[in-house]
């Protein structure tokens, strides 16, 4: 009897130690934001390029936030603008547009995941995209749709071959949808012709609503859809084993800016620390900063992707 009592006491003591052990603290950190934007007169060039770098970042979030003027939009302009461009001058809507092959990779009562194949892509690599027992090796674009009372709405896309993502919100009731605008990159960034992130593989977990990514340069990430609604959406990103010291950054924003009225992002709003006052600068005037949060957005309506949301990077921490 005595040995059994001792065993129970020992087990209770061990349990108390486990309960009392502190969890790994997610220490908030500030990251370096640098502007590599170049001037252009063409609204169809991704001339805006901002990198985010930090040696210890393990978690952050990317949010799509409705532009401040969304409720005043009468006509949403989403057509290409080739003014002052050296290409596309003779562009006109194709009455018989090419429809790329599209496959449904997953579907349930709330979400649809689709994969699309185009005739070619600027960076032809093989990146397996796995969903359960299904693996597709040659997808150019992956789309995630949310089922709503008004029908399915696409809100998240990424390109497996170069690591570009786009995120938007669900539309308000007065709009059928909102446009995509700025793109972002997640992972160790490098440049060849244009900035990109090399993926080794991607796996979708429908129960967690997340994407597990292996990077070709080593390390992993999990991108989890944390919020999707009208006016706001968010993905949480957890990084592990990523070599940020030898990359251009762990995340980046790509966009376009000609003037505030012809832009997908016209200003940078930086919060340097929790509780600090937000600092605002134009895309062209911003140089660099330490940021606890950075938002790329617009204050006045643009004739280019008028309804596209602002994009925020926030919640940087040294632990998941």
Residue 125 lies in a domain: no
Q: Is residue 289 part of a domain?
A: yes
Q: Note the pLDDT of residue 279.
A: 95
The tally of CA atoms less than 13 A away on the side-chain side of residue 54 is 23
Has residue 179 got a pLDDT over 70? Answer: yes
Query: For residue 114, what pLDDT is reported?
Result: 98
88-141 residue pLDDT tens:
766 667 777 778 889 999 999 999 999 999 988 878 899 999 999 999 999 999
In a domain, 293, yes or no: yes
Of the segments 108-117, 170-179, 273-282, which one has the largest average pLDDT value? 108-117
Burial tier of 72 (Cβ tally within 10 Å: 0-12, 13-18, 19+): exposed
User: Residues 72-92: what's their mean pLDDT?
Assistant: 82
Q: What is the mean pLDDT of residues 158-168?
A: 97
Kindly write down the DSSP assignment for every residue of 209-248, as one continuous string: TEEEEEETTS-EEEEEEEEEEBTEEEEEEEEES---TTSS
Rounded Cα distance between 144 and 211, Å, is 11
Q: Which domain holds residue 190?
A: 24-90+178-317
Residue 222: per-residue pLDDT: 98
Give the tens place of pLDDT for each residue, 279-305.
999 999 999 999 999 999 999 999 999
Q: How many domains would you assign to the chain?
A: 1
Q: Are 157 and 144 in contact (CB under 8 A)?
A: yes
Residue 259 lies in a domain: yes
pLDDT in tens, 186-235: 999 999 889 999 999 999 999 999 999 999 999 999 999 999 999 999 99
Which band of pLDDT confidence, cut at 50, 70 and 90, is reported for residue 12? very low
Q: Which residues contact 142 (CB under 8 A, 6 or more apart)?
A: 105, 113, 114, 115, 116, 129, 157, 158, 159, 160, 202
Residue 30 lies in a domain: yes
Residue 299 lies in a domain: yes
Q: According to the model, what pLDDT value does residue 107 have? A: 98
User: Is 216 domain-assigned?
Assistant: yes
Q: Where are the alpha helices (DSSP H) in the chain?
A: 2-20
Residue 114 lies in a domain: no
pLDDT in tens, 229-254: 999 999 999 999 998 877 899 999 99
């Amino acid at each position: 009897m005595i040995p059994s009592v001792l065993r129970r006491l020992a087990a209770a003591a061990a349990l108390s130690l486990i309960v009392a052990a502190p969890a790994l603290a997610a220490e908030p950190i500030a990251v370096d934001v640098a502007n590599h934007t170049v001037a252009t007169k063409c609204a169809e060039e991704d001339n805006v390029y901002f990198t985010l770098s930090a040696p210890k970042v393990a978690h952050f979030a990317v949010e799509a936030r409705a532009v401040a003027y969304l409720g005043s939009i009468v006509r949403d302009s989403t057509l290409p603008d080739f003014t002052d461009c050296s290409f596309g001058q003779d562009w006109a809507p194709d009455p018989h547009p090419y429809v790329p092959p599209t496959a449904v990779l997953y579907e349930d009562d709330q979400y649809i995941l689709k994969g699309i194949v185009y005739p070619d892509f600027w960076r032809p690599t093989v990146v397996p995209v796995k969903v359960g027992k299904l693996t597709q090796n040659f997808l150019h674009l992956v789309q995630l749709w949310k089922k709503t009372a008004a029908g399915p709405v696409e809100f998240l896309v990424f390109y497996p071959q170069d690591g570009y993502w786009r995120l938007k919100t669900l539309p308000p009731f007065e709009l059928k949808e909102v446009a995509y605008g700025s793109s972002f990159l997640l992972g160790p960034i490098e440049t060849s012709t244009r900035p990109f992130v090399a993926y080794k593989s991607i796996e979708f977990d429908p129960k967690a609503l997340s994407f597990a990514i292996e990077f070709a340069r080593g390390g992993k990430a999990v991108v989890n859809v944390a919020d999707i609604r009208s006016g706001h959406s968010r993905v949480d990103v957890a990084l592990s084993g990523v070599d940020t010291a030898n990359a251009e950054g762990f995340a980046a924003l790509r966009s376009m800016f000609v003037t505030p009225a012809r832009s997908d992002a016209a200003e940078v709003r930086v919060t340097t620390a929790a509780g600090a006052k937000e600092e605002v600068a134009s895309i062209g005037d911003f140089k660099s900063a330490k940021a606890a949060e950075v938002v790329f957005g617009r204050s006045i309506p643009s004739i280019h992707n008028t309804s596209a949301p602002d994009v925020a990077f926030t919640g940087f921490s040294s632990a998941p």
